[in-house]
Amino acid sequence: MATDIEGRVSLEEIREELLDCDSVEERLSYLIEIGATLPAFPPEQCVEENRVLGCQSMVWLVPHIEHEKIHFSATSDAPMVRGLIAILIAAYSGQSASEILQFPMDAFFGEIKLQTFITPMRSNGLHSMIMRVKAIARANEVALSSGMTIKAHPIERTAKTPIRTIQSALADFPILKREHTSGQRLVYLDSAASSQRPRQVIDAMSRVYAEHYSNVHRSGHELAAETTSAMESARNSIARFINVPELESIVLTSGTTGSINLVARAWGDANVKAGDEILLTEMEHHSNIVPWQQLAERTGAVIRWLPIRDDYQLDIDRLSEFLSSRTKMVAFTAVSNVLGTINPIQTLVKAAQSVGSRVLVDAAQAIPHGAVDVQAMDADFVVFSGHKMLGPTGIGVLYGKPAHLESMPPFLGGGNMIKSVSVTGFVPADIPHRFEAGTAPIVEAIGMRPAVEFLESIGEDQIIEHERSLVREVHRRFANEKKIKIYGPAVEAKNGIVTFTIDGLHPDEVGRRLDAQGIAIRVGHHCAMPLHARLKLASSCRASFYLYNTLEDVKRFCDAVERLIK
């Protein structure tokens, strides 16, 4: 069998030999034969970051860049799959990125009648390998021009340009068309608790259950390959949306709460000791308070609290009073879920870094508006939930700088988070999978991609300006109502949240009466009891506006509140 200088069998020879075979058995034997010609693959490169997901067998693939050409080395634990790899190596290795992307592989497979002698499961795995090769090629086009180093798991960086208006998006939310039991159209003003979902998210999740649901990263059959590919595609979309440079730094969790608990356990238990300090702010959600209090209880660390000013913004001028060499973690919300206050993230991050502290940003209230760029933030950890950004419940994201994630032990043990297990112990998987124990929230994760793409189709600027136009009108309408007190900064310093109280009316009564008119708001302490104590409140009313609300919603809401007062 003839090979070239790299030891490859030529594509032309593969074509001729396969066409000369008279039976399926002969073709499969030939695949095994050419698979045996692959160069030895270093065992140390058989790691999770080099594994191609979606294949029935274990497949590892590594790119090497040389003089604007991409060379590939790969192997599998299945002899026949190594034959398929040999075909891909013959077609792609040693080519430029553009040559790889332009190569008519489907036409070649048609010539050799590939589908007549490999199973659908093998075919699907082959497709996964081709997708990985093409993703590497696409990333390399950018990497070569900027001097970046190519990643084994490149992120698709194609920017999503806003293509729709707010008005055109309103029709995509079926639940908002329902008639309330009052006989009126529903006005939903509780998006800070949980947003509604567009039909694109609902349909995508239904398709998984109806067409290809299976567990992921395990089985090698066709359904498993399709579902794994869809889930990893969603991870890629999330990474692009928040401008993450490494796909491995995106850990899929159960939500913001799960993400913070993961950090408090896996990072906190290994790095915080008695006498160390954790700095929080007075406006934090309980999810960004209780895990740190539990860590303090376990370790003897001390919680400190950065106060807010009377204008409902953090007292940044006093920040230096609360930071020292003892500060190990600064955890704060990007946007207050009660006040709507948009915090100065970079100022807080830089101040924390100046004393050597790690930083966690709770972006749950920021991500729905598109205002999250983890590279610009430079925080060590960023967390958020899908259900506040048009996505499903039960799915969240932890972004962590790779060096931190690599140093953290697994928080939960079980399936999927290991490389190997024996009677004497286990070896954890590489990031991010070491933090994704058990069966993943598969359908929920897949539902994140259409949620991200929906937000991208509108764009951050349009979303924020729309929300502020609604909030400005609420502030204008309530400005002369002496019985109404609004808690929060000026409109330009916050997002779409209006938290208020009405003299003489308990928030529960306000919420009940508005609900009777088809208007849904949130009442209570909004999982922020320390903030309410600071404001000398037991509870409050919160109307949170989002991209699918309208000026007519504002009118209905304000008219109803004014009737309550009168």
∠ CA(551), CA(557), CA(561), 5° rounding?
Answer: 145
Token output for 198: 């567009």
Do the beta carbons of residue 283 and residue 528 sit within 8 Å? yes
Low-confidence ranges of the chain (pLDDT < 50): 5, 142-143, 145-158
How confident is the model at residue 146, as a pLDDT? 42
Find tokens 């009377």 and name the residue: 310
Do the beta carbons of residue 247 and residue 155 sit within 8 Å? yes
Question: In CATH, which of 3.50.4.10, 3.40.50.150, 3.40.640.10, 3.90.1150.10 is domain 460-565?
Answer: 3.90.1150.10
How many Å is the Cα radius of gyration of the chain? 27
Token output for 316: 């940044």
How confident is the model at residue 487, as a pLDDT? 98
The dihedrals phi and psi of 189, each to the nearest 5 degrees, come to -125, 45
The dihedrals phi and psi of 133, each to the nearest 5 degrees, come to -60, -45
Alpha carbon distance 557, 555 (integer Å): 5
Q: Cα separations (Å) of 453 from 26, 132, 232, 304? A: 46, 21, 15, 39
Q: Which of 21, 46, 55, 527 is catalytic?
A: 527
Q: Where are the domains of the chain?
A: 11-146, 256-385, 460-565
3-class secondary-structure state, position 324: coil
110: CB partners within 8 A, 6+ apart: none
Token output for 465: 């300006």
Around Cβ 458, how many Cβ atoms within 10 Å? Answer: 19
Alpha carbon distance 352, 326 (integer Å): 11
How confident is the model at residue 291, as a pLDDT? 98
Determine the CATH number of domain 256-385: 3.40.640.10
Alpha carbon distance 267, 251 (integer Å): 14
Strand ranges (E), 416-517: 418-422, 425-428, 484-487, 497-502
- The per-residue pLDDT for range 84-135, each reduced to its tens digit, is 999 999 999 999 988 998 999 888 988 988 878 787 667 767 877 887 888 7
Q: Which of 90, 104, 98 is closest to 140 using CA atoms?
A: 98
Token output for 464: 């924020």
DSSP state of 437: -
Assign 3-class secondary structure to 268-319. HHHHCCCCCEEEEECCCCHHHCHHHHHHHHHHCCEEEEECECCCCCECHHHH
State the greatest distance between any 2 C-alpha atoms of the chain, in Å, as a whole number: 92
Neighbouring C-alpha atoms within 13 Å toward the C-beta of 240:
22
- Per CATH, is 11-146 categorized as 3.90.1010.10? yes
Find tokens 């019985």 and name the residue: 483
Q: Which of 138, 120, 40, 38 is closest to 85 using CA atoms?
A: 38
Neighbouring C-alpha atoms within 13 Å toward the C-beta of 516:
9
The dihedrals phi and psi of 109, each to the nearest 5 degrees, come to -60, -35
How confident is the model at residue 370, as a pLDDT? 78
How confident is the model at residue 117, as a pLDDT? 79
The dihedrals phi and psi of 211, each to the nearest 5 degrees, come to -120, -35
Alpha carbon distance 291, 122 (integer Å): 45
Alpha carbon distance 242, 250 (integer Å): 10
Alpha carbon distance 76, 69 (integer Å): 23
Around Cβ 70, how many Cβ atoms within 10 Å? Answer: 22
Please indicate whether residue 541 is annotated as part of the active site. Answer: no
Strands 69-76 and 381-385: unpaired
3-class secondary-structure state, position 504: coil
119: CB partners within 8 A, 6+ apart: none
Q: Which of 51, 71, 73 is closest to 60 using CA atoms?
A: 51
Q: Residue 37 CA to chain centroid, in angstroms? A: 40
Q: Cα separations (Å) of 427 from 58, 410, 418? A: 18, 10, 6
- What is the pTM assigned to this prediction? 0.77
